[in-house]
Amino acid sequence: MKALRLKSWKSEPELEEVPVPEPGPGEVLVQVGAAGACHSDLHLMHDFEADHLAWSPPFTLGHENAGWVHTLGPGVRDVEPGQPVAVVGAWGCGSCGRCLDGLETYCERPDRAPVPGGGGGLGLDGGMAEYLLVPAVRHLVPLPDGLDPVDAAPLTDAGLTPYHAVRRSQAKLGPDSTALVFGVGGLGHLGLQILKATCAARVIAVDPRESARDLALCCGADLVLAPGEGLAEQVRDATGGRGADVVLDFVGSDETLAASAASVRMLGDLTIVGIAGGTLPVSFFGVPYEASVQTTYWGNRRELVEVLDLAARRILHAETTIFTLDDAAQAYRDLANGTVRGRAVVVPHDSYQP
């Protein structure tokens, strides 16, 4: 089968022929219907060194995956061949306290996990291929009726990650609150929709691109702003001088983090989601009093069930640009150039009919 593989750090991925995996005990082979191209993959290709992570290439890219159950390994129950499924991307040990709570992203026994802190497309072979080997049935979520794998795949990260971040701050998102979103890209445009679907807060979106600001309005933003000098004052003017109760930074650069800290309200939440490499100095007077600063990583299986339910009900939808598997490397080039609207999604040749 064809697979888009990262052969080494700081290199471009290569499309090559590899054997179709055979599922062993407890494993499931999924025929890939679609795989999302994530901006974080660009960091794997261009930025990371051998000592950055506990795993390394070579592996097949693609950690946002959905398709159909193809073959069951011995002992597998609860799913059937032909059943449409989404794949939960983070593969922990399944037995530590965090994993038993459903938080496999925060697995505390990496020595027992398939790959420490990763999963399919992150240290192990992912879904930029015709088939994907999933190590346990608990990593599969049956798709709700009416939701196609092509629509579901990007939601397994680009929908799940902002959903987790929003739900973490749910108590601070009442009708008189304001949420501030930095970056209306693959994650940000879904974060906007999730905010509008799950809370009554006003939503302000910030992005330097006019096309992204237009997309933010389409996704329900109450106010869109361009970054630059005076941004924090504009946010405070729009919030009666208080600032934003919840700031979601889907960029994570020095500039956006500084603007986030300047815009957050006292007792507010500043959540760093993007990994653009910026830093935020934290000191007693560096952020408003009792403002909380946190990072988040992905989300859990239960939250993915809820995200897919929202999508099946047409409340949440990923804006996508479709690429074939032969053009998967081009998807990443377009992503790096900032020319992808919404999320880039790669499909095998014979699995998608537009």
Q: What is the domain partition of the chain in residue ranges?
A: 2-156+300-347, 160-295
CATH of 2-156+300-347, one of 3.40.920.10, 3.40.50.720, 2.40.50.90, 3.90.180.10: 3.90.180.10
Which amino acid would we find at residue 213? R
For residue range 301-320, list pLDDT tens digits in order: 999 999 999 999 999 999 89
For residue range 29-72, list pLDDT tens digits in order: 999 999 999 988 998 999 888 877 888 999 999 999 999 999 99
Helices 188-198 & 301-312 angle (0-180, nearest 10): 80
Which residue in 116, 159, 107, 115 sits closest to 135, CA to CA?
A: 115
pLDDT band, residue 353 (cuts 50/70/90):
very low
Round to whole Å and give the CA distance between 61 and 328. 10
Round to whole Å and give the CA distance between 44 and 48. 5
User: What's the whole-model pTM score?
Assistant: 0.94
Round to whole Å and give the CA distance between 165 and 303. 11
Q: Are residues 184 and 213 in contact, defined by beta-carbon separation less than 8 angstroms? A: yes
Q: Are residues 66 and 156 in contact, defined by beta-carbon separation less than 8 angstroms? A: yes
Q: Which class would CATH give 160-295?
A: alpha beta
Tell me: cis bond preceding 116? Omega within 30 of 0 counts. Answer: no
Residue recorded with tokens 């499909």: 347
For residue range 77-129, list pLDDT tens digits in order: 999 999 999 999 999 999 999 999 999 999 999 889 998 889 999 999 999 99
pLDDT at residue 349 above 90? no
Tell me: cis bond preceding 25? Omega within 30 of 0 counts. Answer: no
Q: Which helix (H) or strand (E) holds 353?
A: none
Pairing relationship of beta strands 223-225 and 264-272 according to DSSP bridges: unpaired
Distance from first CA to last CA of the chain, Å, rounded?
Answer: 23
> Could you tell me if residue 267 is left (phi over 0), alpha (psi between -120 and 50 degrees) or otherwise beta?
left
Which residue in 168, 165, 121 sits closest to 273, CA to CA?
A: 165
Residue recorded with tokens 């795949």: 153
Neighbouring residues of 217: CB distance < 8 A, sequence distance ≥ 6: 224
Neighbouring residues of 92: CB distance < 8 A, sequence distance ≥ 6: 98, 99, 103, 104, 105, 106, 107, 109, 113
**Lowest mean pLDDT segment, chosen from 17-26, 97-106, 152-161, 200-209:** 97-106
64 DSSP 8-state letter: E
| Helices assigned H by DSSP within 313-353 | 328-337
For residue range 258-279, list pLDDT tens digits in order: 999 999 999 999 999 999 989 9
